[in-house]
Amino acid sequence: MNGPWYEEGPSALWAPYCQMKTAPAPLPVVATRGCRITLADGRELIDGVASWWSACHGYNHPHILDRVQAQLSVMPHVMFGGLVHEPASVLARRLLAIAPGAMSRVFFSDSGSTAVEVALKIALQYHKNLGRSGRDRFVCFSDGYHGDTLGAMSVSDPEASMHRAFRDVVTKHLVVDLPRDSQAVRSLDAFLGANAGRIAGMIIEPLVQGAGGMRFHSAETLAAVRELASRHGILFIADEIATGFWRTGSRFACDQAAVVPDLLCLGKALTGGVIGMGATLATDAVFQAFLSDDPELALMHGPTFMANPLACAAANASLDLFETEPRAGQVSAIEATLREGLAECRRLPGVVDVRVKGAIGVVQLEPGIDVRAMRPRFIERGVWARPFKDIIYLTPSFVISQDELDRLTRAAREVVAGT
């Protein structure tokens, strides 16, 4: 190579979520620290996305780096079939201790999508193991999104999601609207009553539907659908991959509705955003259905990098930080600043809604406004934000300073106002 790596002819990469023919070239990044991203040309951006909500403690937190480095020199990886290690064993116990209700087992995998795949597989097999045949469908919600693998795509909104092109390929599940009043709850109750014999589970992003457009629903709605699932013998799967670990203002979104799921999916901030990892937690009732003298009843799943020790070390260090640093207070302070800083957007032309929950701030624009075209205008203001669909959103790291957060909300106001 003669010049810097990013000047070497056409890239060998295939980038995410974009039309490669027309998408602008991605920005070369050389370093991260705290809430800042350093670009190859020396510019520094304040991060409003926290790497798709994962970097909750900011980048390069010394405690996480220290724990991962220590683990790296001892045992970067070892297979998990027939072997077990301390970082995974400790992490599983710690997750069970903080999970809503009394969950009893943790299955580790590589990412959020795989955590969802594992949950779907467990739910299907749970009913089969109990001799309830025909329960092979899931209830999922309009505007829901659960990942990019085929099973996860099949329980995402088939019409509104970016996986629309696959709607005739993936298994067709039962897609319903979130019930937002008592009449809608009654209709869903009747629907579930009529279909329960073919339903294995219900999957939901509690309180905030992320990739579907950062749409919020109430704790009452969440509690109501959980209650319906219990009543009809349907396993309730909470996908807290995006909402978990304080993003919505409580440790888990389920906590705000006192909801205890049968299966809980975690990812993203699980490792503080440092390494990919997914976790699927199950209640004892679910786990018991897999115990038998019949080997056919076992869960046949085991990713090569399951419970990777580096990922476990990062996750354990991340949990340390939630215990030792004031994350809950930081999230409420961020919530207050987002509310105040984004409120003015309500008066700007083209704005349909401004909403905030925990460390999530959203400005929704009228349909037809090209929000992607706003991306460079954030960069010009020294801010990293990625408007999509019809929204501009801010999901900063919890350690963001007041000044940095003010710069994010100011940039949002200016970009929306077109000034």
Q: Candidates 95, 175, 188, 211: give the one binding ligand PMP (CB under 6 A).
A: 211
Q: Is 109 in the site for ligand PMP (CB under 6 A)?
A: no
47 binds ligand PMP (CB under 6 A): no
Tell me, by CB under 6 A, how many residues bind ligand PMP: 15
Q: Cβ closer to ligand PMP: 64 or 237?
A: 237
Q: Kindly indicate which of the ranges 99-107, 139-147, 248-256, 330-338 contains the residues binding ligand PMP, using the contact rule CB under 6 A.
A: 139-147
Dihedral sign, CA of 3, 33, 275, 317? positive
Q: Does 112 bind ligand PMP (CB under 6 A)?
A: yes
For position 161 contacting ligand PMP by CB under 6 A, the verdict is no
Distance CA(15)–CA(219), nearest Å, equals: 36
Smallest distance, ligand PMP to C-beta of residue 279, A? 11
Distance from first CA to last CA of the chain, Å, rounded?
41
268 is catalytic: yes
Q: Which of 110, 239, 255, 262 is catalytic?
A: 239
Closest of 111, 67, 71 to residue 309, by C-alpha:
71
List the structure tokens of 218.
């109430």
Active site residue 393: no
The torsion region of residue 358 among left (phi > 0), alpha (psi -120 to 50) and beta comes to left
What distance lies between CA 52 and its chain's CA centroid?
8
Interactions with ligand PMP, residue window 227-256 (CB under 6 A): 239, 241-242
Shortest Å, Cβ 268 to ligand PMP:
6
Which region among 142-150, 189-197, 247-255, 322-330 touches ligand PMP (by CB under 6 A)? 142-150
Contact 272, 237 (CB under 8 A): no
Q: Establish if 263 lies at the interface with ligand PMP (CB under 6 A).
A: no
Q: Does 87 bind ligand PMP (CB under 6 A)?
A: no
DSSP symbol at 46: E
What is the rounded CA–CA span in Å between residue 144 and residue 368? Answer: 21
Q: Residue 368 pairs with which residues in a beta bridge?
A: none
Does residue 116 touch ligand PMP according to CB under 6 A? yes
**Number of other CB atoms surrounding residue 213 within 10 Å:** 18
Stretch that binds ligand PMP, among 77-85, 143-151, 175-183, 194-202 (CB under 6 A): 143-151
Query: What gap in Å lies between CA 354 and CA 103, rounded to an integer?
Result: 36
Give Cα separations from 367 to 216, 388, 391 (angstroms).
18, 11, 9
Q: Which listed range, 16-24, 110-118, 163-171, 296-304, lies at the site for ligand PMP (CB under 6 A)?
A: 110-118
Which residues here bind ligand PMP, judged by CB under 6 A? 52, 111-113, 116, 145-147, 205, 210-211, 239, 241-242, 267
Active site residues: 17, 145, 239, 268
